[in-house]
Structure 1
């Protein structure tokens, strides 16, 4: 070996400072320095691309990588998020406008009440159930942006098809296609939120998403009723085509947000510009469509049937969500008995809308709890954000009990405003369920968030498609009071589940195969603020 001369003392001191060599200068060779210089040069090159090399030889993100979605500028993330939330709100409103269109189109299309509901409402939801299984894992493997653009454009065209082919077959096919496409803003947007924001920030972003979704749910019946009454039911669809056409253009300007997709692009850029080729650290890299078909499509079903957290959250949120679709069919008849006429019967949904802002009180509480834990250097715990759910579960039950026994025929002379107090609580609870349970799934399953939401969305869409079908028979056979009492009794069963989550949620998560693995990967690939226990 060629030993270093005394003139190389500075190099040796630099190496010692890096902890690479000992003080015994005789063991240092020029080849050692060359190797270290090459390593430092490689590290500096990777840093320029926002990358680092893991001990397993795979590329991963630098903590401060500007190309990572969580490190984008506030304005860029705000634009992405605003467009997606607005799209979700609007397509959700179009979905709950189905019963209003069904009522208006019955005579024109010579359909019975149930057949019309199936065509305009249920087919949309059944399509969303299918799309909710296919698109989320696809977006995890192949990216978000292209999926958003393609599905919104097809949604726009399907609205035109439905309006221009006013037959039972045409409406069923058109609404089914709309439903499939609507699964992307309805389900994939939660995964995009997880891409863009860390756990602390998601407290507010998930809150905004829940508010947008719930607002869409309760505005849809009003939107559909008034446009159908004054312009004709086809204009609900024509306006839907116009608005989603505008959204298609806006989506051209969002950025791809799936970190694994962007990491692959950075690795490809590194290879092209510097000739350096390394595998990437990715939990969801899918080499081809065949693998995707065999594995990714069944992941949501596996999560639903094998993960207790996903199963219970899906069940409770699906019932609370489908309840609004049931109300879209039943509330107009209830308030018609209280003197409301024509499209004004849909105004009974306004109290549901007024209940939504109440959730902000619990987001402030969540933020304070998480802030205290962060200051104390304690890991963030998803169960810490379930306080709102613990309150919302009994609020849903109480709201339905109030509504059930303040309307005719059992209470014929009470003012209609009293029953709407119960609806305010139902609106708050529905929004809080969406906010807390969606946030809980996002925090618990991180890299599998979209697949967990796909399982939830499948059950939610199926129930939303079925509930309006039995609402007319249920309310006519049992009466408005007893039928609403059945709903209140079901909601009462949810109260105990909230406390069980608070007490045993962490234990169940830690024993979960998917939640456990996502936690490990999340710690290995985090860039900002996701210290979860």
Structure 2
């Protein structure tokens, strides 16, 4: 829901930095937590159960703040404002205005033919899957980021296998290896500032494809990092070498993740929540599945060939952003949904020009 929420609050031109902050928080949390919790597990007076207890405590602290986050969906805000206006008008006791007239004067677009709860749930559940299955842009970008996210999970799970098995690190020292993920995350976040410069310079001519410069470079770095991690994982090679491979791969994954979020949000505008939901569904299903065979993969194929397999997949899928960058406009022209979206945007511009209340999602998400 985060990508859609950010798309609700900030316009396209201001969204890049906010999306990068969200991505940074996501990656930084995944890298800093193992560093801290490895020392929790290493302490005999705490152990692995206290990892869960600490998480419960942190969740309890954050929950009240999460519940205070205000509504961001434009249509919901307009409905609430219209209802408040009707309530205030009735309190004035204006006898010359009937309830029907008051309801007509203060009426949000999403209240016209508003679907029921069952229909809302149906649309919100099926539209992301429909976009995922019928829109080539959503499908191929989702497959690409799903593999990248899956490899990120594999990297996280493989670090103890390699650094305990090959380098004989204890639990605490294995935790410090996750600093490589943190370094890759920081490099990805800093690199996004250059991506934003390129975006502002080229968005007028390139459109949403101007979001893909860092993702194209990141796709290559993703494959290169996997190959470095694969072919430096030997006991006689310093442990710094595979750490460099991890950092390079995570930099690439960060750029891919951020690029996909920004590109889909820009391409599907008012339906960004649905496009990102379909992408997130596939990404997390694939990544979660990868963790089931990580140990078997690295045991049977060895760390070298296991990581090489992922590097090969990354190299093949690195072509996705290049195809989108050069052929994205033609692909969107052939999409029925994109044509419908263009007509919807034209209608929204016309209605905003006349000053009428507009709900871009018509209450459907």
TM over 0.5: yes
Q: What SS does the aligned partner of 1:347 have? A: helix
Return closer, same or farther for 1:283/1:318 CA change in 2, 3 Å cut-off. Answer: farther
Deviation string, structure 1 residues 77-121 (Cα, Å, up to 9, x no partner): xxxxxxxxxxxxxxxxxxxxxxxxxxxxxxxxxxxxxxxxxxxxx
**Other-structure match for 1:123:** none
1:68-467 matches, cutoff 5 A: 188-230=1-43, 231-274=46-89, 275-277=102-104, 279-282=107-110, 287-336=115-164, 337-360=166-189, 362-372=191-201, 378=204, 381-408=207-234, 412-467=235-290
Using CA pairs under 8 Å that are at least 6 residues apart, name the structure with larger relative contact order, 1 or 2.
2
8 Å CA contact 2:219, 2:253 repeated in 1: no
Deviation at 1:282, TM superposition (A): 4.4
Deviation string, structure 1 residues 457-488 (Cα, Å, up to 9, x no partner): 22222222221211111111111111111111
Structure number with bigger Rg: 1
**Alpha-carbon distance in structure 2 between the residues aligned to 1:339 and 1:294:** 52
8 Å CA contact 2:161, 2:295 repeated in 1: no
Q: CA RMSD in A?
A: 2.3
**Alpha-carbon distance in structure 2 between the residues aligned to 1:205 and 1:288:** 34
Q: Which runs of 5+ in 1 are unaligned?
A: 1-187, 528-533
8 Å CA contact 1:210, 1:434 repeated in 2: yes
8 Å CA contact 2:198, 2:213 repeated in 1: no
8 Å CA contact 1:200, 1:370 repeated in 2: no
Deviation at 1:239, TM superposition (A): 1.6
Deviation at 1:329, TM superposition (A): 2.2
8 Å CA contact 1:319, 1:460 repeated in 2: yes
8 Å CA contact 1:310, 1:456 repeated in 2: yes
**Other-structure match for 2:315:** 492
8 Å CA contact 1:388, 1:432 repeated in 2: yes
**Alpha-carbon distance in structure 2 between the residues aligned to 1:497 and 1:370:** 19
After TM superposition, the score normalised by the length of structure 2 is: 0.84
**Other-structure match for 2:98:** none
Q: What SS does the aligned partner of 1:415 have? A: coil
Deviation string, structure 1 residues 366-389 (Cα, Å, up to 9, x no partner): 433444468xxx477110110001
Deviation string, structure 1 residues 109-160 (Cα, Å, up to 9, x no partner): xxxxxxxxxxxxxxxxxxxxxxxxxxxxxxxxxxxxxxxxxxxxxxxxxxxx
**Alpha-carbon distance in structure 2 between the residues aligned to 1:266 and 1:190:** 25
8 Å CA contact 1:214, 1:431 repeated in 2: yes
**Alpha-carbon distance in structure 2 between the residues aligned to 1:415 and 1:286:** 64
Q: Which runs of 5+ in 2 are unaligned?
A: 90-101, 353-365
8 Å CA contact 2:233, 2:242 repeated in 1: yes
**Alpha-carbon distance in structure 2 between the residues aligned to 1:380 and 1:501:** 11
After TM superposition, the score normalised by the length of structure 1 is: 0.59
